[in-house]
Structure formats: structure tokens, C-alpha cells
Homo-oligomer: A and B are copies of this chain.
Amino acid sequence: MANEASYKHKKVINIGVVKELTGLSQRQIRYYEERKLIFPDRTSGGIRKYSFTDIEILMDIANKIEEGVQTREIRQEMVRKQSVNNEQHRKMIQGQINAHFGIRRK
């Protein structure tokens, strides 16, 4: 059976449902994509497909917008967090490599 968590990231949801689940307008949802805050997939016909993760992100965005944060700032924050994650991930991988090979000496 497939990993359950993968459902969360699978892009299968139309904008109409995203609208229902987030309370945002289609205009808002598309605008946040234009501002590079979300990245839906597309069908061959051009229909946007979102994941549950996208929906969670959109709700976070909505909160920040309400607080007066600009999309530009939200975007910068996302990029920053991403590079932090990448760094943490790099360190973790390196740690695993060390655990396997690093300490041992001939």
C-alpha cells in the first residue's frame, strides 16, 4: 500500500474545492500563484490541480494577508525557510554518512 502521507501532497483538487475549503475567492487563489506562493499542477487542458498541502499553505497565506503582510514578504519568508530546511537536510544527510563511514579509521 502507498504511503498515506503522500495523499497530502498529491495534486488532485480543482480550484472550486480549494475555494470551498479555504474560503478564498478564485481570484485570490490565482493571484497568490502569480506571486509564486503556490504551485498547482495543470491538466493537459490547463485546469489547475491543488494538493491538501497547497490548501494548508493558502490558509497560512490568508492569515498573513489579513495581518497586513504583503505577498512579496510572504514569498521572501518562504524562500528563507526553504533554504534553512535545505541546510538542515544537508547536515542530516552528512550526519548519516558520518555515522556510516566517518568515524571508522583503518
Contact = CB atoms under 8 A, between A and B. Distances in A.
A52 B7 contact: yes
Interface stretch (A13-21, A82-90, A95-103): A13-21
Number of copies: 2
Contact of A4 (B5, B13, B14, B17): B5
Interface range on chain A (Cβ under 8 Å from partner): 10 to 19
A4 to B, nearest CB: 7
B12 A8 contact: no
15 contacts: A4-B4, A4-B5, A4-B8, A7-B7, A7-B8, A7-B52, A10-B52, A12-B12, A12-B13, A12-B17, A12-B21, A13-B13, A14-B14, A16-B43, A17-B49
